[in-house]
Amino acid sequence: MPAVAGEQAIAGVLRVYGEERFAQMTDYGKYELYKQYGGGDTARLYYEMYNILGDPSLDIWTDYPETISANYAGTVPAGATSFDITVTSAGSPIEDALVCIAKDDDGVYETAYTNASGAASITMSPAPLMPGAMAVTVLVTGADPGRQG
């Protein structure tokens, strides 16, 4: 049955290549299906059936998500031009965590990646001019997204 070849290829790309994005996994599976069975009617049916109905950049969870902690000042004074944050998991720093800060009413939207120490210093331009909540989001592969604000 042709579908088995595609499904095995999808699982194989996760296991062999470590690819965890759904679109790339299904594309690889469809390619292997086509290579094995050619462009006949049955292969074409499965090729078209395994279409992505949703977000193609969806990451596949392969384990329980780890818990992350983000440490930063609870308030940012009006006119401040930098925002410092440290991201850890179980007390160890996390390198390459994507940190995003946003304060819509002041037009602040900045991102940065953490360094080997788990720290990032984000330059805010424009600087926030009014007091209010700032959204802080931290994304780490294999962890629940942390969002506060």
Of 45, 93, 50, 100, the C-alpha closest to 68 is 93
Cα gap 49→21, rounded to integer Å: 18
Task: Write the pLDDT tens digit of every residue in 30-56.
Answer: 777 777 777 778 777 777 777 666 676
Domains: count for the chain: 2
In a domain, 7, yes or no: yes
Question: Quick one: CA dihedral 133, 136, 137, 143, positive or negative?
Answer: negative
Write down the pLDDT at residue 99.
95
Write down the pLDDT at residue 4.
66
- CATH number for the domain spanning 89: value is 2.60.40
45 and 103 inside one domain? no
In a domain, 19, yes or no: yes
96 and 125 inside one domain? yes
In a domain, 91, yes or no: yes
Is the pLDDT at 146 greater than 70? The verdict is no
Cα gap 93→119, rounded to integer Å: 8
User: Token digits for 140?
Assistant: 């780490």
Provide the whole-model pTM: 0.66
Task: Write the pLDDT tens digit of every residue in 63-120.
Answer: 788 889 999 998 888 899 999 999 999 999 999 999 999 998 888 999 999 999 999 9
Residues spanned by the domain of 104: 69-148
Of 121, 125, 82, the C-alpha closest to 99 is 121
Cα gap 89→1, rounded to integer Å: 45
- Cβ atoms 148, 136 nearer than 8 A: yes
In a domain, 85, yes or no: yes
107 and 42 inside one domain? no
